Amino acid sequence: MYSFSQLLLRNCILGIVFSLIVVLFSILSISKYLEIKQSEHSKVIQEQSFLLENSDSKNVATNDKPTEIESAPSAIQVEQFIHTLQAAQNYTILKVESKQADVIYNSTNPAPNSNFILPYTSPKPNQTTLGATSLTVTYQLDFTEQSDLIVKILSLVIGLSFIFIVIASVLSTYSYKSTLKKLGNSLKAEIEKSFSSEEEVAPALPTPELNNTLTDIKKLIHSHTSNASVLEKKAYLEPVTQLSNRGRFVQYFENQVTNNTVKFGVLSITRCSELQTINQIHGYNAGDTYICGVADIMKAAITKFQGAQLFRLNSSDFATILPNTTIKGAEGFATQLTEKFNSLQQVSDLDSVAYTGLVYFEKDKPLGELLALADTGISIAQTQQTNSWHSQTDSDMLENSSASYGNQNWRQEIDNVIENQRITLLFQPIKPSSRNAKVYGEVLARFLNSNDEMLPTASFVAMAEKLDKIVAIDKMIIEKVITEISHKNLQDSSFGINISTRSIHDEHFLIWLERRLLRDTAIASKLIFEITEYGLQQNIKTSKRFIDMIHRAGSKVTVERFGVSLTSFKFFKDLKPDFIKMDSTYTRDIDEDKNNQYFLKLMVDLAHRLSILVLAESVESQEEKFALEKLFIDGCQGFYIGKPLPL
């Protein structure tokens, strides 16, 4: 049913269209009519001209002999002629010219501003030549009075139209309401009649119209219910693994645990430690495959626990709720996960797969506190064996000094790595697209615990940043790379080393690095330091000082993950890096993405104008490589080009 406002809006639109048509038709008709009237006025001018030609003043007799008629009327005669015309009609333009095109009289009276319709209806000026007088009269009649009358009539018509529109809208609304009220009453009566019947089978509605109406209503309700159910399912579904997402996890915990449906149980968080590394080295498709493999292992493991639920909280974290399960029972679940993760690690050539933190809960424990405890358990597990788990049994951890227990474990592990130089280096090549492009290979650092097992790289670097150990880690990596190049005589190649943002803005680190490079100038010329675009933006002044120092020492600089924040090229013109490495979001599926192809072509052209070489990372297929080479990328890096191998 249309509401009054809807009907009024619809009718107003129709009224406006109708009024515009009426106004347009009226203007065209009036304009034609006035043009005819103005043309007819030329007869009046001709008549006045005839009187002018036969004026007695033009024939003056001398000695009873007529004199010769002058070739032109006198000024007095013309003045009388003009006066006669103005007395007969009002003009907006009146101009009289002689045969020699001399202006004898010129008068212009523009129409008043208040009359907006006159410019659209008033005809163009007419011109009339008056026989023997050799005068030319240009004129435009003044139709202001007629135009005012027309405006009043049109305003009245439009006003009455809108009054009728409002009345029609009111009557239509009343008619709709009356009709639906009657239909509702009839439907109500039939429903009451069917409920009051003593027969087992309800009688069919007596009229086909009512029967069809009920059917349509049922279909509409069913359609809306189905759509709502589908939308809700999509909103709570994670697309890669087809698991419930964080929103559903919070909803489940509130409905089942907080409301006492589940009295107690174990919450576990499993973190996929290698996702970031896989995405950077092997590409996002490999990352999705890795995540799905972990999800499949966890789906199989929870089948032994009645009512267990699995959720994907974010890109790298899974949450498992084992209802009515003790911590001891959950430890068997975690041990099984470790065994499966170890098997996946062996067949996938990974440094690790995932780590798990367990925490016991009861109905009165807040969800935020449980998540914090489980996260601490993961931090501790990551400092132990590969793919291990840790059961967080200290429920008071967040309320006392032991809250930093996970951090202390990491601090000890990082100090142990630095003190005992527990680091191994991998090398991933960058293949040049042409013989003239001089590129390099990237050095990737991996860190070992006291059992010579690989620590999760992303977590290690993140904790080193958090615990203010990253500068010492950067120094250790640089020293290790220079030593390896020297001992293995690798000076025929160039090597890229990643530097953290904190290090390039640390004054003491810059002094140390400059002295270290100047001690081995031959090796320094083979080093390329990679800094993220975001890191350079943190402090442009110190970033410029760092790059200038690197160039003085003979080394080069690469801006990696370029394009994430779209820094202006003026910024790079001032800093003058040697390479930019495009972020993987631009190079992934570049052979199919026309938008990224256009963007990369633009970036390559601008970079080459500044004498900067452009590199592409995460190249995972031959099609991507060919597409990048067509865009004149200077070098490609990725799993398709070459896997990381020991230096």
Give the tens place of pLDDT for each residue, 470-509: 999 999 999 999 999 999 999 889 999 999 988 999 999 9
- The reply to whether 421 and 362 lie within a common domain is no
User: Which pair of structure tokens corresponds to residue 113?
Assistant: 């501003």
User: Which pair of structure tokens corresponds to residue 526?
Assistant: 């083979």
CA 81/CA 93 separation, integer angstroms: 16
- Picking from 495, 415, 479, the residue whose alpha carbon sits closest to that of residue 447 is 415
pTM, two decimal places: 0.52
Task: Please state the rounded mean pLDDT for residues 447-467.
Answer: 84
Which residues lie below 8 Å from residue 128, measured CB to CB, with a gap of 6+?
42, 45, 46, 136, 137, 139
- Picking from 643, 535, 472, the residue whose alpha carbon sits closest to that of residue 480 is 472
Task: Please state the rounded mean pLDDT for residues 29-38.
Answer: 76
Eight-class DSSP state of 316 = S
Task: Answer whether residue 320 is part of any domain.
Answer: yes
What pLDDT is stored for residue 229 in this prediction?
56
Could you tell me which residue, 291 or 116, shows the higher pLDDT?
291
The domain boundary, picked from 107, 128, 147, lies at: 147
What pLDDT is stored for residue 620 in this prediction?
86
- Cβ(554)–Cβ(525) below 8 Å: yes
User: Which pair of structure tokens corresponds to residue 309?
Assistant: 């639920």
Q: Tally the domains of the chain.
A: 3
- Cβ(527)–Cβ(555) below 8 Å: yes
The domain boundary, picked from 126, 147, 168, lies at: 147
Instruction: Provide the mean pLDDT of the chain.
Output: 80
Helix H or strand E encompassing 127: strand 126-130
- The reply to whether 454 and 524 lie within a common domain is yes
- The reply to whether 439 and 298 lie within a common domain is no
Task: Answer whether residue 544 is part of any domain.
Answer: yes
- Neighbouring C-alpha atoms within 13 Å toward the C-beta of 42: 15
**CATH code at position 629:** 3.20.20.450
Which residues lie below 8 Å from residue 436, measured CB to CB, with a gap of 6+?
none
- The reply to whether 316 and 345 lie within a common domain is yes
Task: Answer whether residue 89 is part of any domain.
Answer: yes
Could you tell me which residue, 396 or 87, shows the higher pLDDT?
87
Task: Please state the rounded mean pLDDT for residues 299-323.
Answer: 91
CA 364/CA 259 separation, integer angstroms: 10
- The reply to whether 427 and 555 lie within a common domain is yes
Q: Hey, which residues does 317 pair with through a beta bridge?
A: 271
Give the tens place of pLDDT for each residue, 167-207: 776 777 777 677 767 777 776 676 666 555 544 444 444 55
- Picking from 505, 586, 492, the residue whose alpha carbon sits closest to that of residue 541 is 505
- The reply to whether 385 and 452 lie within a common domain is no
User: Radius of gyration of the chain from Cα atoms?
Assistant: 46
SS3 content of the chain, % helix, strand, coil (to 5): 55, 15, 25
Task: Answer whether residue 181 is part of any domain.
Answer: no
Give the tens place of pLDDT for each residue, 335-355: 999 999 989 988 887 878 999
CA 582/CA 559 separation, integer angstroms: 9
Helix H or strand E encompassing 312: strand 309-312
Task: Please state the rounded mean pLDDT for residues 239-265.
Answer: 84
Give residue for tokens 């452009």: 614
Give residue for tokens 């990369």: 600
Helix H or strand E encompassing 103: strand 103-108
Average the pLDDT over each of 95-99, 473-477, 509-513, 565-569 and give the range with the smallest value: 565-569
- Picking from 326, 331, 334, the residue whose alpha carbon sits closest to that of residue 355 is 334
Burial 140-157 (b: 16+ CB within 10 A, else e): bbbbbebbeebbeebeee
What pLDDT is stored for residue 60 in this prediction?
42
- The reply to whether 322 and 450 lie within a common domain is no
Task: Answer whether residue 589 is part of any domain.
Answer: yes
- The reply to whether 87 and 48 lie within a common domain is yes
- The reply to whether 378 and 465 lie within a common domain is no
Task: Answer whether residue 198 is part of any domain.
Answer: no
**CATH code at position 302:** 3.30.70.270
Q: Hey, which residues does 497 pair with through a beta bridge?
A: 529
- The reply to whether 584 and 449 lie within a common domain is yes
The domain boundary, picked from 127, 147, 167, lies at: 147
Could you tell me which residue, 204 or 587, shows the higher pLDDT?
587
- CA torsion 377-383-387-389 (nearest 10°) is -30
Task: Answer whether residue 185 is part of any domain.
Answer: no
The residue type found at 584 is: S
Domain, as residue range, for 581: 415-646
- Neighbouring C-alpha atoms within 13 Å toward the C-beta of 99: 8
Give the tens place of pLDDT for each residue, 612-628: 999 999 888 899 999 99
Most confident of 93-102, 172-181, 543-552: 543-552
- Picking from 372, 267, 256, 369, the residue whose alpha carbon sits closest to that of residue 318 is 267
Convert 551-567 into a string of H (helix), E (strand) and C (coil).
Answer: HHCCCEEEEEEECCCCC
CA 81/CA 76 separation, integer angstroms: 9
- The reply to whether 295 and 391 lie within a common domain is yes
- Cβ(268)–Cβ(330) below 8 Å: yes
Average the pLDDT over each of 27-41, 128-142, 240-254, 386-400 and give the range with the smallest value: 386-400
- Cβ(108)–Cβ(125) below 8 Å: no
User: Which pair of structure tokens corresponds to residue 158?
Assistant: 């439009």
CA 385/CA 337 separation, integer angstroms: 13
Task: Answer whether residue 171 is part of any domain.
Answer: no
39 to 34, 45, 144, 410: CA distances (angstroms): 9, 11, 17, 102
Eight-class DSSP state of 253 = I
CA 224/CA 242 separation, integer angstroms: 24
- Cβ(422)–Cβ(316) below 8 Å: no
- Cβ(117)–Cβ(150) below 8 Å: yes
DSSP 135-167: EEEEEEE--HHHHHHHHHHHHHHHHHHHHHHHH
Q: Hey, which residues does 392 pair with through a beta bridge?
A: 359
Helix H or strand E encompassing 61: strand 61-62
Convert 206-238 into a string of H (helix), E (strand) and C (coil).
Answer: CCHHHHHHHHHHHHHHHHHHHHHHHHHHHHCEC
- The reply to whether 619 and 476 lie within a common domain is yes
